[in-house]
Structure 1
């Protein structure tokens, strides 16, 4: 089940859940979190195969303040480099900040504050055999969001490879249960 539609008095909303992808492709979900009270940011990356199984995940603390847009762009840069380092060559780069995803997919460099990061990301994408960006709402990016928030609890960076981090275990199970896959 990929999405639901529900209505309320004021508007229709689409609730987006994690969506499966074509065989032999990998989805790299990215998210950034801003910890204003600490003057830090958190990065979350979750990479899955076409069955929803974790290929790699990371939480990373950035010891400097960024705004939400900058944190999302930095998460995207870290996510694409992480995917490459995992040896993946066909990816869908997905995040919940549409401005960042659009800037990567188009000739528009995006807002000036993220242009350097967008340029860096665009220098990585030609290395992949196949790639595309995808925007999803927060509901479709929950695992990466949890990893970004988890960064508040670590000192630098934690990485999992082919193992599901406990902090996102139930979310990963929820994401793929209706698809008939076993993510762990």
Structure 2
């Protein structure tokens, strides 16, 4: 079973050799907005991602969709050492316990757990919503595009302020 970390109050960089993947979902009517960001121990964005999905989804389902999509993209970019961080406590608990209930949310949890087993290192972590700003900003930004977007070793300029704040917090 993958390791887990306890809740923290602010975005914190991963230990050397690991990458932290934050994901988030935002909702507007019948559209789900998804954002994900993979950063190194210095807070540098190595992969950023955003997309939208049509349909009305439960919050936990949207959060699980965001994590699954972000993890797939980070793995496709060649990364395999992660701390997966979410601000959804329900998703965190199911991942930590490796339990997937018999519903659509459970299938998404199972997908994430299956993907995580293909990693060299995968740790699940919970963070307060107020400290998941970069991923949330990417989710909100997703409506600016007609299809999903991925940035490698860069990020959209709209999230620069949030990333600067996170990096400043690392220095405290």
2:139 corresponds to which of 148, 155, 163: 148
Q: Secondary structure of 1:79's partner?
A: helix
Query: Using a 3 Å threshold, how does the CA distance of structure 1 residues 107 and 146 change in structure 2: closer, same or farther?
Result: same
Q: Who is 1:135 aligned against?
A: 126
2:48 maps to 1:16: no
Alpha-carbon offset, residue 67 of structure 1: 2.0
Instruction: Tell me the TM-score normalised to structure 2 length.
Output: 0.90
1:115 corresponds to which of 106, 109, 125: 106
2:163 corresponds to which of 172, 177, 183: 172
Q: Who is 1:56 aligned against?
A: 47
Q: Which runs of 5+ in 1 are unaligned?
A: 1-13
Alpha-carbon offset, residue 121 of structure 1: 1.0
Query: Using a 3 Å threshold, how does the CA distance of structure 1 residues 179 and 15 change in structure 2: closer, same or farther?
Result: closer
Q: Which is bigger in relative contact order (C-alpha 8 A, separation at least 6)?
A: 2
Q: Who is 1:125 aligned against?
A: 116
Alpha-carbon offset, residue 62 of structure 1: 0.7
Q: Which runs of 5+ in 2 are unaligned?
A: 1-6
Q: Who is 1:74 aligned against?
A: 65
Instruction: Tell me the TM-score normalised to structure 1 length.
Output: 0.84
Structure of greater Rg: 1
2:113 maps to 1:106: no
